[in-house]
Amino acid sequence: MPELEESTAKTKPSFDPNILQDLLPLYYKRLFPHKQFYRWMSYGRSESSVFSNREFSFTLQDDIYIRYQSFETQQELEREICAKVPFKIDIGAVYNIRPKDHRGSTAIQPVQRELVFDIDMTDYDDIRTCCNEANVCQLCWKFMSIACRVLDEALREDFGFEHLLWVFSGRRGIHCWVSDKSARHLDTAARSAIAQYLNVLISGGEGTASRVIIHDEMHHSIRRAYRIVAPLFEEICLVDQNIFGKPEGVRKLLALVQDTSVRAELEKRLKTVPSDSKSVWKEFVAYFDELRMSGNSNRYRRLKFIVEEVILAFTYPRLDINVTKGFNHLLKSPFCVHPKTGKVCIPFNPNIASKFDPTDVPTIIDLLKEVNAFDEKNTVEGEENRSKIKDYKKTSMFKGTVIFEEFLRKLEQTFKGKAAALTDMKMEF
């Protein structure tokens, strides 16, 4: 293992993307979980050609893009990854034929694919004040944590899915891979229906916040989401982000009130309170409490859920529904190294997403230093003993790998014995 320069700074130094080409061969050879990755993509060989008909896409150095790759075995895929050293690996659909044979065939069609969700921090740029664009910190990560909780509960309780893999994207977002067989075999219409069901935000247009519209009754899925987000609204939106602390934020708040006369009255009242988010929000809520008590039932009925709608508008997950709807949409593989940040796309536990720190995710440099440090510390044990410990177990990537292993263990319980049955079927003649 080559020497890696130590840093004494407490904060992580900025990553130099130019060194990635030198470090990736070591990462793929020693740290990438090839065996576990194959276990996931092959689904215990419980379905015919589920691995060999899967598309893998490699992005090489200088943005050279290779699509429609497919492999017969774990060893073949591992050899190709180590030989080509991709800067990014994308996972596509399982097709009716081997993707590598698609040239000359007009019949290539996707037949299954995980149901996937992609949430990007830049979609919160209109409401977060701590960061923007590709930057993310522990304050705005709370939006991601909420999104994870809301979607995880909805997918499990409303659709009965069990096998969800949550992955940090390596820079500014999260991905969810729903790997249940029923999810993988959904057609495009069903994927679109699920995406639309979960996408309750309506775009408010340029410069305004997205809105949520609740009609006469609150749907049970909206009520569940509200139960999750409401207790965190003050901490995240009023304190951490201070969204209504500037005139622009107040304008976004007022834009969510559709009744023009109410909006005009409210605007006058908000000009009389201190310009901090807590004061603005307290006055906003007080106004609608007074409206409710005024006896003007027609006016109030149209705005019955306005407080709940505003809270949801600023906290509900902002989905890229095109990723979910697309049957053959490519999505970055877990355990890739992000080429701009050097951070590993690491799985995390959705139940404790609030404790996940995106600023502390290990980079490829961190991981290789950790392997070096472990090996040097244990040199006295002898070379033979050191080699018995898997390299990823020597690093801070270990926790994410354990989460992946646990996901695989539960997934594999659902198709025990099916691979053998499939083999027997193939032997019948």
Measured CA distances, 300 to 202, 211, 281 (Å): 22, 18, 18
- Strands 110-112 and 173-178 turn out to be unpaired
Catalytic choice (114, 120, 240, 391): 120
Question: How confident is the model at residue 207, as a pLDDT?
Answer: 57
Say how many C-beta atoms besides its own lie within 10 A of residue 6's C-beta: 8
Within 8 A by CB and 6+ apart from 112, the residues are 47, 50, 93, 94, 184, 185
Say how many C-beta atoms besides its own lie within 10 A of residue 193's C-beta: 13
Structure tokens given for 297: 């039932």
C-alpha–C-alpha distance, residues 290 and 118, integer Å: 41
Element (H, E) at 198: helix 188-198
- pLDDT digit of tens for each residue in the chain (429 aa)? 544 544 333 456 788 888 999 999 999 999 999 999 999 999 998 898 999 999 999 999 989 999 999 999 999 999 999 999 999 999 999 999 999 998 876 788 999 999 999 999 999 999 999 998 888 999 999 999 999 999 999 999 999 999 999 999 999 999 999 999 999 999 999 999 999 999 999 876 655 668 888 887 889 999 999 999 999 999 999 999 999 999 999 999 999 998 999 999 999 999 999 989 999 999 999 999 998 888 766 777 788 899 999 999 999 999 999 999 988 889 999 999 999 999 999 999 999 999 999 999 999 999 999 999 998 888 765 555 555 788 999 999 999 999 999 999 999 999 876 654 444 444 332
C-alpha–C-alpha distance, residues 239 and 414, integer Å: 45
Structure tokens given for 137: 């910190």
Instruction: Specify whether 217 is catalytic.
Output: no
Instruction: Specify whether 118 is catalytic.
Output: yes
Structure tokens given for 135: 């930057």
Q: Which of 104, 109, 107, 134 is nearest to 122 (CA)?
A: 134
The top-level CATH class assigned to 15-200+319-379+390-418 is: alpha beta
In a 3-state reduction of DSSP, which class is residue 185?
coil
Structure tokens given for 327: 């049957």
C-alpha–C-alpha distance, residues 373 and 390, integer Å: 14
pTM (predicted TM-score): 0.91
In a 3-state reduction of DSSP, which class is residue 34?
helix
- Strands 164-168 and 173-178 turn out to be antiparallel
- Identify residue 206 by its one-letter amino acid code: E
C-alpha–C-alpha distance, residues 205 and 74, integer Å: 47
Measured CA distances, 265 to 4, 64, 183, 254, 260 (Å): 63, 58, 49, 10, 9
Report how many helices (DSSP H) and strands (DSSP E) the chain contains, helices first: 17, 8
Question: How confident is the model at residue 379, as a pLDDT?
Answer: 74
- Strands 64-69 and 54-60 turn out to be antiparallel
Say how many C-beta atoms besides its own lie within 10 A of residue 40's C-beta: 23
Question: How confident is the model at residue 420, as a pLDDT?
Answer: 43
**Cross-strand partners of 176:** 117, 166
Question: How confident is the model at residue 175, as a pLDDT?
Answer: 97
DSSP structural state of residue 14: P
Tokens 């003649």 locate to 429
C-alpha–C-alpha distance, residues 288 and 254, integer Å: 13
Instruction: Specify whether 55 is catalytic.
Output: yes
Per domain, the residue ranges of the chain are 15-200+319-379+390-418, 204-315
Question: How confident is the model at residue 132, as a pLDDT?
Answer: 87
Q: Are 24 and 342 in contact (CB under 8 A)?
A: no
Measured CA distances, 240 to 104, 127, 208, 233, 278 (Å): 56, 11, 20, 10, 11
C-alpha–C-alpha distance, residues 296 and 288, integer Å: 11
205: left (phi over 0), alpha (psi -120 to 50) or beta: left
Catalytic choice (78, 90, 114, 118): 118
